[in-house]
């Protein structure tokens, strides 16, 4: 299957700072990428959908000024958590799809964010 | 609205016993259906998927799942569980409104007794 790589796999940052998470499709062109958030022992909640070259579409209740998503190329999307606070600590997972035919979305390995 | 229900939050089975994890979905058309497994602190690993065709699909690690349209179900099964199968299992519905926007169930945590 196709490979999606997330970086970093874990990050610790101070409250009030911003942190950027990268999601790369390594062997296919990802026209669409998705960002999910997973609280401890809970399911994955879709935060936003981003199409290459367009503004991201955020799910209801997700602050777009807090979670900045950029999808400037067909292989890279970034999620920036701005002015992070402890309540932003979570596991963030991206997925990517080329939206063609009977393909599926492929998931990155996730990023554990801890805000102290 | 689309939704995925995994009725069992926790399941405990003995090693070697059979396993069935339940998944029900609510979606107007035939969705794409997936089962993923997640070990603690790790990402998702795809076990199997159903897009169309044969309603009994085989996956990795000896897992299989059966799509039953009449019951809106996609239950995951394994005839003999191994201790290494202990993990969190997520059912997901995809390809909604022409995109690969997934909706995940709440997950079932599997514990395996030696």
Q: Specify whether the CB–CB gap between B60 and B47 falls below 8 A.
A: yes
Nearest to A112 among B41, B49, B94 (CB): B41
Helix, strand, coil % in chain B, rounded to nearest 5: 10, 50, 40
Nearest to A43 among B41, B46, B90 (CB): B90
Q: What percent of chain B has pLDDT over 90?
A: 72
Q: Chain A residues with CB-CB distance to B under 8 A?
A: 1, 6, 32, 34, 36, 41-46, 49, 91, 93, 95, 97, 99, 102-105, 107-110, 112
| Backbone torsion region of residue A99, taken as left when φ is above 0, otherwise alpha when ψ lies between -120 and 50, otherwise beta | left
Residues in chain A within 8 Å Cβ distance of B46: 1, 104, 107
Who has greater pLDDT, A1 or B3? Answer: B3
Q: Which of B31, B42, B43 would best serve as a mutation to test chain A binding (most A beta carbons within 10 A)?
A: B43
Given a cut of 80, is residue B74 above it in pLDDT?
yes
**Beta carbons of B94 and A105 less than 8 Å apart:** yes
Which pLDDT does position A1 carry in this prediction? 65
Which pLDDT does position A75 carry in this prediction? 92
Strand duo B45-50 + B103-104: pairing: unpaired
């Amino acid at each position: 299957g196709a490979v999606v790589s997330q970086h970093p796999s874990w990050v610790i940052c101070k409250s009030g700072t911003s942190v950027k998470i990268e999601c790369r499709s390594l062997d296919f062109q990802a026209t669409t990428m998705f960002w999910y958030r997973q609280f401890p022992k809970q399911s994955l909640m879709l935060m936003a959908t981003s199409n290459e070259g367009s503004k991201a579409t955020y799910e209801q209740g997700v602050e777009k000024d807090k979670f900045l998503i950029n999808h400037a190329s067909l292989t890279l999307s970034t999620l920036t958590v701005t002015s992070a606070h402890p309540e932003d600590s979570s596991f963030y997972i991206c997925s990517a799809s080329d939206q063609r035919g009977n393909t599926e979305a492929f998931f990155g390995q996730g990023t554990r964010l801890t805000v102290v | 609205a689309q939704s995925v229900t995994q009725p069992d939050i926790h399941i405990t089975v003995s090693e070697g016993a059979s396993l069935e994890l339940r998944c029900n979905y609510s979606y107007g058309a035939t969705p794409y259906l997936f089962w993923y497994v997640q070990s603690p602190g790790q990402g998702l690993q795809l076990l199997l998927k159903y897009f169309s065709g044969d309603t009994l699909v085989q996956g990795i690690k000896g897992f299989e799942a059966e799509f039953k349209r009449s019951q809106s179900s996609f239950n995951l099964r394994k005839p003999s569980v191994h201790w290494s199968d202990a993990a969190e299992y997520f059912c997901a519905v995809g390809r909604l409104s022409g995109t690969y926007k997934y909706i995940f169930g709440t997950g079932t945590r599997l514990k395996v007794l030696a």
